[in-house]
């Protein structure tokens, strides 16, 4: 279990209050809400994200006795509450998820195995995944090369590409998701 810094002035035995008194924690909830409302136009997204983040804060305060430090950090508990708040909001609009989870255990499994192999054996380990990497855009190929071939961390990749570290995280995730879809499609085609 990790302990979190408490805000000066917050009750020492109330980590939820301490986290909610922290400006950064509240700002992160708003950012999470904005990210989760990605399908809405900006004009609707911004005010609704604020409302839902506030609702999550209110729920957290009401239910703070339920927070169990043994199960994780306050930040992750708050993140979980916000997910429920957004889901409840969508349910109240009778809005269904755009695409139900397809599972796709095969694609994730293959991606993990192929990238581990590349990671363990260096360039030689790329043999299995290389044909798929070759179908990515040049910038995505470069990202895969820097991360899994050269083994650079996000900060080094950001410096090399002259972009922000948070942009690296999104681009990397999109690139891996694209690879996963390709692997999954191939598995399905072979299975036919």
Partner 1 sequence: MTPHQRRLRLDLAATRYLDALEREDFDAMAELWRQAGEDHDLEEALHELHAGLVEERQIEQARRDAGALAEAVAKHLPSAEIIRPTTDPITVADVAEALFRQPPPRLPPEAHALNEKLRAAREPLPEHLGLSKLITWAEAKFGRAAREYWKAFQQAAIDLELRQASEAEYRMAARPTPRKEGQP
Residues ≥6 apart with Cβ < 8 Å to 120? none
* Cα 77 from Cα 4, distance rounded (Å): 13
Q: How far is the CB of 7 from partner 1 (least distance, A)?
A: 18
Identified binder of partner 1 from the candidate list 44, 66, 123, 139, rule CB under 8 A: 139
Residues ≥6 apart with Cβ < 8 Å to 113? none
Alpha-carbon radius of gyration of the chain: 21
Q: How far is the CB of 9 from partner 1 (least distance, A)?
A: 24
Kindly tell me which of 2 and 192 has the beta carbon lying closer to partner 1: 2
Q: Is 26 in the site for partner 1 (CB under 8 A)?
A: no
Identified binder of partner 1 from the candidate list 5, 93, 100, 105, rule CB under 8 A: 100
Q: Is 130 in the site for partner 1 (CB under 8 A)?
A: no
DSSP string, 10-29: S-TT-HHHHHHH-HHHHHHH
Kindly tell me which of 17 and 36 has the beta carbon lying closer to partner 1: 36
Tokens 């190929």, residue? 141
* Cα 20 from Cα 109, distance rounded (Å): 38
Q: Which stretch binds partner 1 (CB under 8 A): 11-19, 55-63, 134-142, 182-190?
A: 134-142
**Stretch 146-185: interaction string toward partner 1, x if CB under 8 A:** -xx--x-xx-----xxxxxxxx-xx-xxx-xx--x-----
* Angle subtended at Cα 173 by Cα 171 and Cα 175, rounded to the nearest 5 degrees: 70
| Nearest in space to 48 (alpha carbons), one of 61, 35, 58 | 35
Binders of partner 1 among residues 73 to 92 (CB under 8 A) are: 73, 75-77, 79-80, 83-84, 86-87, 90
CB contact at 8 A, 52 and 86:
yes
The 8-class DSSP code of residue 125 comes to G
Residues within the interface to partner 1 (CB under 8 A): 1-2, 28, 31-32, 34-36, 38-39, 42, 71-73, 75-77, 79-80, 83-84, 86-87, 90, 97-101, 108, 111-112, 115-116, 119-120, 138-139, 142, 147-148, 151, 153-154, 160-167, 169-170, 172-174, 176-177, 180
């Amino acid at each position: 279990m990790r302990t979190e810094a408490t805000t000066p002035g917050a009750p020492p035995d109330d980590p939820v209050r301490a986290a909610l008194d922290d400006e950064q924690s509240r700002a992160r909830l708003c950012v999470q809400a904005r990210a989760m409302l990605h399908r809405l136009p900006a004009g609707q997204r911004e005010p609704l994200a604020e409302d839902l983040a506030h609702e999550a804060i209110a729920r957290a305060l009401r239910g703070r006795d339920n927070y169990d430090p043994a199960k994780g950090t306050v930040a992750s508990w708050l993140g979980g509450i916000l997910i429920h708040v957004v889901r409840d909001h969508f349910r109240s609009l009778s809005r269904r998820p755009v695409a139900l989870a397809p599972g796709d255990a095969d694609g994730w499994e293959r991606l993990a195995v192929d990238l581990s192999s590349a990671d363990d054996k260096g360039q030689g380990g790329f043999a299995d995944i290389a044909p798929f990497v070759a179908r990515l855009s040049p910038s995505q190929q470069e990202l895969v090369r820097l991360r899994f071939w050269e083994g650079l961390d996000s900060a080094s990749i950001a410096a090399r590409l002259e972009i922000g570290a948070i942009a690296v995280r999104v681009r990397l995730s999109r690139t891996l998701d694209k690879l996963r879809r390709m692997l999954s499609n191939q598995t399905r085609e072979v299975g036919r």
